Amino acid sequence: MNTILELLKLDVSTIIMVSFILMSAAIAIFEVIGKFSNIIGKPVKWVKERENIKELTLQNVNDIKNLAKKQEEDIQQSIRHDEIIRNDLQKLTKMFIDKEIDDWRWEILDMASALSGGKQYNKEQFEHVLSIHERYEKLLQENNMSNGQVDVSISIIKDIYKKKLQNGF
């Protein structure tokens, strides 16, 4: 009991100072034992574990660097593929628009030519071609294109259609 009372009489700063000195001494002893065991080639178990942890940590750092590098390469490749797909899609869209324009133009020109040759069409066929002409003009406008071949043909179709509406089909 006297020992405890004597300890309580000590200054708190002295207790803290002694504690740090004892911890530092313990750490230094463990370090010396670890270095000595490595030098003689028979490391202590806790030294081996610490070395293994260091190696695993270094391996993890290298693996993370490699993954980051691979991710960057994958991102760049993905960007290149996206650009290729975008270009191909633009080409396909242009081809589709050109095909639609050509098909609609042909249908309008064909009907005008046939009407000029005396062929007869019913009201639904006229309305169909007039509807195609509206879509044709809208598609040209949306794609900043001009119409140079269909104006005369649609004019012929509209004139004959008006006459048929007045005189009957």
The answer to whether the CB of 157 falls within 8 A of the CB of 108 is: yes
Nearest 10 degrees: Cα torsion 114, 116, 120, 122: 90
Sequence ranges of the domains in the chain: 12-42, 44-167
pLDDT at 8 over 70: no
Q: What is the largest CA-CA distance in the chain?
A: 133
Mean confidence (pLDDT) of the chain: 87
Q: Mean pLDDT: which of 76-85, 111-120, 138-147, 149-158 is highest?
A: 76-85
pLDDT of residue 99: 94
CA distance 44 to 52: 12
**Can you say whether the dihedral through the CA atoms of 30, 33, 38, 41 is positive or negative?**
negative
The identity of residue 43, as a single letter, is P
pLDDT of residue 66: 96
Q: Which residues have a Cβ under 8 Å from the Cβ of 132 and sit 6 or more positions away?
A: 104, 107, 108
pLDDT of residue 149: 75
pLDDT at 46 over 70: no
- State both tokens at 164: 């048929």
CA distance 168 to 104: 26
- Please return the burial class of 157, using the count of CB atoms within 10 Å of its CB with bins 0-12, 13-18 and 19+: buried
pLDDT of residue 81: 97
115-127 pLDDT per residue, tens: 999 899 999 999 9
Eight-class DSSP state of 5: H
> What percentage of the chain exceeds 70 in pLDDT?
91
> Stretch 55-68: mean pLDDT, rounded?
95
